[in-house]
A and B are shown apart, each in its own frame.
Chain A
Amino acid sequence: MTTLTDPPKEQFRLSMLLYDTRYRSATIQVIAMIGFMLLAAWLISNTAQNLAALGKPIDFGFFSEPASYDINQRLLDYSSRDTHLRAALIGLLNTLVVAVLGCITATVLGVIIGVLRLSNNWIVARLMTIYVEGFRNVPVLLWIVFIMAILIETLPAPKAFRGDNATASMMLGDSVAVTNRGVYIPEPLFSNSLGNIHVFGESGLRFDISLDLLAILVVLGAGLWVSSYLRKRADRIQEQTGDRPVTWWQRLAVVVLPTGLVLVLLGFHLGYPELKGFNFQGGTHLRNSLIALWLALSLYTAAFIAEIVRAGIMAISKGQTEAASALGLRSNKIMSLVILPQALRVIIPPLISNYLNLTKNSSLAIAVGYMDITGTLGGITMNQTGRELETILLLMLVYLTISLSISAVMNWYNESVKLKER
C-alpha cells in the first residue's frame, strides 16, 4: 500500500508579496496605480480649489455665444455673428487643409530631393546637401516668418496691376493673378446649379453639400467603375484566348463622355479673378498666409523626408540593383520596381512621425496670421472669453485626435506593406 503524501501546501504569506516574483509584480502594479490615482486626485482637487477661488468654474457655455470676430479663410460659411464653436470648427478645417497640403508636397519634394542628393551631378548633389542642412538646422518658426516676408516683399501688390503703366500682369491668359496678398485662380461655376443640401440646420456644425459636385462625383465614379469592369473583361479574354482586345478608347470614353455631358448640362464655366476696387474679385483666393505656411512646412519637412528617403535607398544593398540589371531592367524600372518598394518599408515608419510633426508644427500658423484652430480656439476665443482651461484642454484633445488618427491610418498602411515573414 502506498500512501500518497500531498506536496506541502503552499500557504500564502504576506511577505510573498515582496519576495515572490509571482506576486511581486502585482504589488508593484498596485503601488503604481495608487500613486497614479493619488497624483491625479491631487491635480484635480488643486484645480477645483483654484477655479473656485478664481470664481471661474468649468463651463463650456461660451461656445454658444457669438464669436464677434471675422476669419478670412473659411471653408464653410461664417460671419462674426456665429458662435465660438463655429469659429473653432472653421479653424479646425483650416488646420486640416494646411496639414494635408503640406504632407503631400513635403513628400513629393522630399522624394525628389532625396533622390537628387544621391545624383552623380556634383553641383546638384551639393546644392541639395546645402538645402537639407540649411532647412534642418534653423527653427521652423523662423522659416515660416522668412517665407512670409519673402512673399510679401518680392511679389507685386494688386496696385501694380492697375492702370496703363502696370508693372505686373496676370498669367496664363489673364486667368491667374499672383500678388503679395495671395494667388487668385479661376473658380468653377455652374450656371444651371442644382443647389445645395443644408445639413444640421442652423446649428454651429451646419454645412452645405453641393449637389453639382455630388452629381459630378457620382457620374465620374460610375464611369471609373465601368472602365475597371472593361479592363477586367479584357484580362479575362486575354487569359482565355491570348489576345487582348483594344479597350483604351472604350475605357476613356465611358469616363470622359458622361462626365463632360454632366458638366455641360450644369453649365460649367470658370470664374476669372478681376481687379475691382482694392482687390481682385472673383476666382478662388489662396491667401498669402496659407501659401507661406504651406511652403514653409513643406520645405522644412521635405528636408527631413529627403534624409529618410536617402537613408532608405542606401539601405538597399547594391546587389539588388545589380541583380535587377542582370535581369535586363532599365534604370527607371529598377528604381520603381525593385529599389523603391523595398526602401518604402524602411521609409514609412519615420515618415509617419514626420507627418505628425508637420501637423503639429502647423500650430505655428499664428506667426503668419493663418487662422487655424490654435489661432481661433486657442487664440482669439481664449483671449476674448478668458476661459483658458477649457480652450486649452479642448485644443489638446483636438490635436491628440488628429495625431492618433494619422498614426492609426499610417500604421495600418505600414502593416499592409510590411515584409510578411514566416
Chain B
Amino acid sequence: MSDIGFVRTEMLPEREPPASTVGALGWARANLFSNWFNSILTLASLYAIYAILAAVLPWVFSPTWNGASLNNCREILTAAGSVGEHGTSGACWGVIRERWIQLLFGFYPSELYWRPILAFVLLAVALAPVLFSDSVPSKMLIFSGLYPFIFPWLLWGGTIWGPIAALAGFVLGWVVYSAVSKTMSSLIGIVLGAVAALAWWFVLSGYFVGALDSILPIGIEAVESRKFGGFMLSITIGVVAIACSLPLGIVLALGRQSDLMIVKYICVGFIEFIRGVPLITLLFVASTLLNIFMPPGTNFDIILRVLIMVTLFASAYMAEVIRGGLAALPKGQYEGADSLGLNYWQAQRLIIMPQALKISIPGIVSTFIGVFKDTTLVSIIGLLDPLGLSNAIRADANWNGVVWELYGFIALMFFVFCFGMSRYSMYLERKLHTGHR
C-alpha cells in the first residue's frame, strides 16, 4: 500500500492574479469598461475631454503676455504663425497683464492696497475662533467682536473716532439695558436701550466725533466708496451684506417662529417678498428709487445704497437658513431651557442660538457664496465690479474687442473664491455631523 495516490508535499508557488484584474488594466476594466453602456460612456467622455482641450489649449498658450494692445497682439500672433480662417487665433493676454490689478482693486489708490489686503487677512483671523472653535483660544472672540468696526475703518479710512463712536453706541445701549432691566422690566430695558443707542448714533455721535477729531485728529486717509471696484467691491459687498444680514436674519427667523401673530406676519411678509423678487429689481430700487423713499434732499452714494439693498436681500435668505438651524434643534433643548427657568431671551442667548448658529454655518457659507456670485449683477446698474470693469476696459481703444480673456480671468477668479469656500463648508458640514452622532 505504498502509492495509493498522489499526495502533494509542497506548496505550489503563488500565481499572479489574472492580468485583466490588476494594475492599470484591471482598474480600467472595473472602473471604465465594466459593461457596454459604461464603455460607451467612457469613450464619449474621453472624446469630449479631447475636443474641449484641443479647442481651448492652443488658444490659452499664446505668446501675447507682453502685447500692448489688441492690434499688437494680432501682430505677435501673426509673427508666430497662428493664423486661422477668421484671422489670428489665440488669446491676447496683454490685457490681463495691464489690468489685473485694476480688476482686483478697482480704482483704490495704489499706495493704500495694503489696507484692503490687511482687512481681508484680519477677516480670516476674526473668523478663526468662530470656524475653528476647537483649536483657537476663545479669547480671540473679543477680536471678532471688534472686527466689524475695524473692517469699514480700514477700507473707507477717515478718523478713528467714527468706529469708536459706533462702538460706544452699542456700549451705551447695553449699559442702559442692564441698568433698566435690573430695576424695571427687561422689556422696557430693551426698548430704552435701543432708543438710547439710536439717539446716540443719529444725534449725538456726530458732535462727539467732530469734537474729538478736532482735539485729537487720529486717522488714516479717507477713501471714497466710488474708488472701490473689481473683486474688492464684490468681496466688500458680500462680506458687509452677510455680516449685517446675520443679526437681521436672526431677528427675522425668531420673528417668523414667534407666537406673536402680528410680528410673525410682518416677518413672513418681508421674507417672502424679498425671496419672491429677483435681486436685479432690488438693485434697480437701489439705483433709482431708494433716494425717493428717503426724506427729501437725502442723497448717499450708490455703493451704500447697493449695500443696503443687498443686505436686505441676504437677510431674508439668512433668516431661512437660521430657521432651518432652529428647526433642527431637538425640542428637548427648548424644554431644558424652560425647565431651568430661563426666560425667552436668556434661553435664546445661552442655549438655543449658540447651537442653532453652529448648525447653520454651512448654510451661511453657501448663502455667502450665493451673494458673492450675485454681486456681478451690480454691473447692470453701472457699478464697476469685475464684469462692469471688463466693459470699461473694452472701452479703451487699445482693448476694444477683447472678450474671452477678460471673461475667462473673471470666471477663474470667481471659481477659485467660491470653490474654496464651498470645499470649506463641506468640511465643516462633515465635522458638525460627527459631532451629532
Contact = CB atoms under 8 A, between A and B. Distances in A.
A363 B46 contact: no
Interface stretch (A193-201, A224-232, A398-406): A398-406
A392 B279 CA distance: 12
B376 A142 contact: yes
A367 B259 CA distance: 44
A396 B313 CA distance: 13
Contacts of B411: 138, 142, 146
Nearest to A52: B296
A364 B280 contact: yes
B377 A392 contact: no
B414 interface: yes
Nearest to A121: B38
B281 A53 contact: no
Q: Chain B: interface residue count, which band?
A: 35 or more
Contact of A29 (B188, B262, B376, B379): B262
Find the residue from A36, A53, A141 having the highest chain B CB count within 10 A: A141
Contact of B296 (A53, A364, A400): A53
B141 interface: no
A32 B263 contact: yes
Contact of A399 (B259, B281, B293): B281
A142 B288 contact: no
B59 to A, nearest CB: 11
B167 interface: no
Contacts of A106: none
A83 interface: no
A43 B284 CA distance: 17
A349 to B, nearest CB: 11
A365 to B, nearest CB: 10
A173 B225 CA distance: 60
A141 B386 CA distance: 12
Interface string A31-57: 111001000000100110111011000
A404 B259 contact: no
A277 B140 CA distance: 73
A72 interface: no
B310 to A, nearest CB: 14
B377 to A, nearest CB: 6
Nearest to B31: A122
A121 B32 contact: yes
A360 B387 contact: no
Contact of A392 (B288, B387, B415): B288
B20 interface: no
Given A50-B293, A123-B31, A137-B414, 10 more contacts: A24-B187, A25-B260, A32-B263, A116-B41, A120-B31, A127-B49, A133-B419, A137-B373, A399-B276, A400-B276
9 contacts: A18-B188, A27-B187, A51-B292, A54-B292, A116-B41, A123-B32, A123-B46, A136-B422, A137-B373
